[in-house]
Structure 1
Amino acid sequence: MSAASCLLTEDQFLCSICLDVFTDPVTIPCGHNFCKSCITIHWDKNVPCHCPNCKEVFNTRPELKVNTFISKMAAQFRQSAQQKASSSSSEQQVSKPGEVPCDDCTGTKLKALKSCLVRLASYCETHLEPHLTKSGLKRHQLIDPVENLEGRMCTKHDKLLELFCKTDQMCVCMLCSVLDHKTHDVVPLKEEYEGKKAELGKTDAEIQQMIQKRRLKIQEMKRSVELSKKEADREIAAGVQVFTALKKSVERSQAELIDTIKEKQRKTENQAEGFIKELEQEISELKKRSSEVEQLSQSEDHLHLLQSFPSLNAAPPTKNWTGVSVRPPSYEGTVVRAVNQLEETLSKQMKKAELKRVQQYAADVTLDPDTAHPKLILSDDGKQVNCGHPKKNLPDNPERFDSYVYVLAKQSFSSGRFYYEVQVKEKTDWVLGVARESINKKGRITPTLQDGYWTIYLMNENVYGAFSDPPVFFSLKCQPEKVGVFVDYEEGLVSFYDVDAAALIYSFTGCCFTQKLYPYFCPCNNAGGKNSAPLIISPFSHTDVLNTVDYYQAIRSLCSRVVHFPHFTK
């Protein structure tokens, strides 16, 4: 029996109806073998009786008898398979909660490796083998193990859901496709699966891209926070130093103020002590004279009294104390004057420190000859410009101003902060500021906000103003000889400074910059030589610019100077 079983293939032990090892195998007249129960049920449903394999029809239903030889062979094969499954079960993983168990395992359930969509069952490694080796089972569709395989059957027709209705966006069976979805767009599940899988691939790529963007944004934010923390720590440290120095300065000023007041009091006390000492000395002299007069008045010697009378009759010489007094010193206004002077000095130094703060953004600015009006004369280094006469014969390129004596810088700025200084000494008229990239350079132009300019000007030697909306005029204590221009692109700020006075002249705030900005210069006409002085862009070196720490050091310098108050008097 063992030798005979070795000559048979495993396919010969499987019923073609149930696709399992024979149970009570029977042989029908055509020679094919089936499980007795499988062929009986088949013939009960199908009349006339025929062979499921070769389709031979039997007019009379054959009598079924168990083939004992095949039955013994099948039993031996089943036993061999069970022993093989038993020996390999120790090597396979036992099904754990949450994992799909093998439906064919008896006793301990092993973990299923695949699920069959035809048999609607899940199999471990051992029970899966027939599906991998038997020709009849290889055609079955296997998937990763899943639970509730019944859910893959059509609830209406009890058929496998193997089609997809694109019209109703649902899975259907073969009967659904010819009955309920007859006119619909129905495709095989695999086709729709491939399409949806491709869509999911695109979706996943988009999601991954979104994730990457957000990771980059997180990194950017973390870097910003890190930089902010470093800046905050630096500012706190510098601020603590400033206020510590300022506190010490105020304490020293307070001590000096107290010393000043005490010095006044000491002078008053010394004056009073001098007067008292002098008075006490006069009192002593008067007491001595009183004693002498008393003795003389008691004398019985007529001659002695008469001879001594002229010298003792009058009081000794003394000071007239009628108008003499000691007045307490007045301290009114002493503290107020000290505080006012401290505030004034602090304000001046703060202005200087603020100017130094913006000067750290100094940019190297040079004039662009391609934009200069033909009347303008530019220096070789591009740092000076004044108005000459007559016009030069220059190409009228699209970037050149043709009606007004304007010129732009070569450099443009579209983010961050920048600063530059222009000497305006000995000029009677000028216009300075910044202009956006899209300004009109031909014909009539006014450097106003509406036309894309942020500028201030000097007119007729003493009229200062800003081309704002509405126009603004302002007076300055002194005429600036050097003007600083500072721009904070993101903040929307353009500020102008009197560099020598360290004073803010004017600021445009709340600006909305969307284009490149160019430094703008207008030396104005030379007015017959009266306004012939050039506009000069001041050079900057690293030693000219203070960083934020230097800014606070300037304040600390103030603290060291503020302590030297004068002695305050009324």
Structure 2
Amino acid sequence: MAFSDARKELDCSICLHIYTNPVTLRCGHNFCQECIEDVLDRHGRSGIYCCPECREQFQVRPQLSRNITLRNIVESFRSTAQEKKEEKKESQIFCTQCIHSPVIAVKSCLHCEASLCDDHLRVHSKSPQHVLSDLTTPQKNRKCSVHEKILEYYCTEDSACLCGSCRLHGDHQEHQVEALEEASEKRKENLTNALQKLVKKREEMEESIKSLQKYKRKVQDDADGVTKRVTAIFRDIRRQLDILEKRILNKISRQAEKASFPPSDLIQDLEIKKDNLSRKIRHIEEICNMTDPLTFLQESDTGDLCDTEDGDEKDKKRCDKLLNGGGDLIATEILPLLHTGLYDIITGVNKGINIPEPAEITLDEDTAHNNVYLLDDKKTACRITKNLNRPQLPNIFTILPQVMSSQSFSSGRHYWDVDVGGSSQWRVGMCFPSIDKAQYYADLGNNPVSWCLERNANQLLVKHGYKSATPLAGNASVTKVRISLDYEAGQISFYELVFPIRHLHTFTGIFTEPMHAALYLGEGCIKICRENQEL
């Protein structure tokens, strides 16, 4: 809030002056105690009291609460205003010629050592020795401290103001000296130029700050959007996993219940037959314990004592069939269901987050150097010593062992994978079609129109433009590389295809031409991995 606005908050809305003994009504509005009591006295005649500010009504005369905090603020403000008034009065300089009444001076004469008002300034001498100055400049600072003469010159070598005696007889006789006005104008000109540069620099900084703030807001907005999407994806994954889990558990339960019926029936039959056998065994044991031969022979002369149960062989076959032919429930029923369910969930997630499909990349033989041999599939390039003597087409790399892709990308997000395990010296990356293929500075990454990841001397580096290569930390024994392009965002990223995937570097810029994949072969072979190839 501006100072003037804050000052208005200290005025009583009744008397329109600064508060005196401020009090507060129940509705929260403040008034001078005397002002509000006078208003309430008038309201008492009608029997209805109300706030002059918000018109809230009170059935009985409202109690007035002293506002100590507001009173302290008012007193502090009054004290400060009085001090400023006194300081202003003390700082005023009055005309020395006006002897009857004080009149504020507007200029000082250094020669007369007098302060002059407008009237006396008009009749004052205009001769050169009467030098006029602003009242803000102390008189003693306008004169030489040695010769007590007016300072009229400026020594540029010592950065000192001089009087006439200092210039003629002092230490500045041989120095470069200028009139104060001339030196002042030059200094003002220099300061004005410096000021313009500083203002321009400040404006540039303000623009940079605005751009950074805009970028920061964009990053935060993007992060918020991604957070919402990821949260929704995980929520949906958990929901689908819960459904899949219930489905599989129900399947296990049903299969187990179904598989338990035959064994249960067979167990019941075998239990009955086992009980019959147990009774026969006990009867035979009792007979065998008899000592009287006649009784033994009579009791044991039953042909069914030693007979086995009918269907023993059939029961054994049923048991063997159940034990050996039931199969693995997990392998035959559950794993296929689990695999299909998880695959469907992952497929749905990939569609939901719009993961780009791998780009189909083939190498353009019309750009390949004569020592770069391409296999028939146009996905594998090898460095050879034999010169292939291809026709000298306009787009061929004539000096460096490089090759570009047939495909180009001028929008969207794309990625492809490269197997570099067959070479110990290589570069993989991207370039504009305008790269000058007949020059040494067409070296991939060593110019403003190409970007690359390089392995050289058992070290990983990234290159772009005419800058020195930037080494990357970590193991240089990379066998598979993923190259990702986001054309609109102006980003080229490199990843090592390990588990988990490792980000190596991201270039950021502005792409003004279509982008081609490009390879440099120091030796050995490099292969573009086929679409959806398992790495």
Output the TM-score relative to the length of structure 2. Answer: 0.47
